[in-house]
Amino acid sequence: QVQLVESGGGLVQPGGSLRLSCAVSGFTSGWYAIGWFRQAPGKEREGIACIATTRGATYYADSVKDRFTIGRDDAKKTAYLQLDSIQPDDTALYYCVTDCIPTTSGIKADYGSWGRGTQVTVSS
């Protein structure tokens, strides 16, 4: 079965940067789209970034656009999320998933496998 392991989270100051990684294993064929989601205590899970298989098209939620960058390494089956200009509201548990679909109501993931997440905590 497909498994994902996130890493790279930690404590960071406002304005700082982090690079999150998502190692994917267990694919039977091809490369899946990868989405990044996050959830803060008391809030709904939010889809923040998506990278598709077709030409590597990327999509971002308004809350992170121009600050976060999603990418992938097809050969290594690894995806990443670069977080720049981090803000206090970015504090959350960040997940990757082998599915993502941009919709009029935000990025969603109806299928695919999830990792356990990596914690990002923003504090001065």
pLDDT tens profile 2-14: 899 999 999 999 9
- Residue 84 has a CB neighbour count (10 Å cut-off) of 14
pLDDT tens profile 40-68: 999 999 999 999 876 789 999 999 999 99
Confidence band of 74 (pLDDT split at 50, 70, 90): confident
Check residue 28 and give its pLDDT: 60
